[in-house]
Structure 1
């Protein structure tokens, strides 16, 4: 079980907002790792510009065994699903006007789910009880894949940084569907992250 505990968060020094980010100690600190908030009033924003998802090239990236094609696949998936979540409450535009947010997303790392073994640990005597407890606590399961990324939110008209955070997302520890397919857990994490950002920006 030691393989699924003791994750040490990375600060990603090549991210523009890195110097402002502080370790998050409050609610959701298990997946919101570093945060910075300006106290902006999200209610005044009605439109959004979503930049193309960037793939982090810094030496402190966390892609490990994830190849370039899989990184691009995850970046494309991230673009689609963050857009889907955000355009439920904002009008997507391409040219800045008043009351517009600009969202910059950077994919910084991911971990695959070991095939067969990742599914087996949901049920066997070694992983089953552990994963049940982790599921109840909302924590990461044994041998589960994950995704790491940075969100930076700007006022599109003046470029002022309004919010930034580093996140690490993963499926529920007993989510069997996310253990089928090497990237499925990371994709589930992206889905969760998209919904979380939309909630943070909720009017």
Structure 2
């Protein structure tokens, strides 16, 4: 029963988180299908909108004390969703996410550079991104009407006015066997009241990276502690 409880808890947590550019016309197509070029694509199940999840049946993380962080990659599939963002920018965003993961994960796990018997392997893929309307988002956040609107959006978990977003996929494997433990696709955006995140698309990505890395770290640590033999 403990293993089932851990799987359910991690699944609920993942639902709470989250190549060539096809431009704005491609946005939102993950409502219909998971990113086709992901290794975990066939395992992912649709939750709602752009949210997809897989959790290994009876998953237990109690045996994992370490985590191997694979450098974040830029999605190269034909269904990439990058809103005409240049490749150099996409690669920069990937680097930002990798650094955030290293910074956060070390608080709960031993971070290793190679496969190990007690290590999970974590891989993030940036599937898409939308641009922040530089300057406009900041102004809308501080003007009275904009501030009120964004306060409501913050409470309800919506992104702020004119704020960009990042479509992320993460896959968690056993680092030795390569077995898929969990995977998810989510579109993430900064808290609607985070004014600094509206200064540029890069600032938006930094805010998203920090929040996602910290949230995932906490939930993986909680799932490990709840598992038999976890601590």
Tell me the distance in 1 between the aligned counterparts of 2:206 and 2:130: 11
Change (3 A) 1:57 1:187: same
Q: Name 1:21's counterpart in structure 2.
A: 44
TM-score by length of 2: 0.77
The partner residue of 1:33 within 51, 54, 64 is 51
Tell me the distance in 2 between the aligned counterparts of 1:119 and 1:103: 34
Cα shift at 1:134: 0.5
Tell me the distance in 2 between the aligned counterparts of 1:57 and 1:126: 40
The partner residue of 1:84 within 97, 103, 109 is 103
Task: Write the mapping of 1:1-203 to structure 2, written as runs, cut at 5 A.
Answer: 8=28, 10=30, 11-24=34-47, 33-38=51-56, 39-124=58-143, 127-202=146-221, 203=224
Cα shift at 1:63: 0.9
Q: Name 2:227's counterpart in structure 1.
A: none
**More displaced stretch, 180-189 vs 68-77:** 180-189
Tell me the distance in 2 between the aligned counterparts of 1:144 and 1:72: 20
Give ranges in structure 1 of 5+ residues lacking alignment: 1-6
Tell me the distance in 1 between the aligned counterparts of 2:145 and 2:81: 27
Give ranges in structure 2 of 5+ residues lacking alignment: 1-26, 225-231
Cα shift at 1:45: 0.3
Cα shift at 1:181: 2.2
Tell me the distance in 2 between the aligned counterparts of 1:9 and 1:57: 15
Question: Size of the alignment, in residue pairs?
Answer: 192
Which structure carries more helix by proportion? 2
Instruction: Tell me if the contact between 1:145 and 1:183 (Cα under 8 Å) persists in the aligned partners.
Output: no
Q: Name 1:4's counterpart in structure 2.
A: none
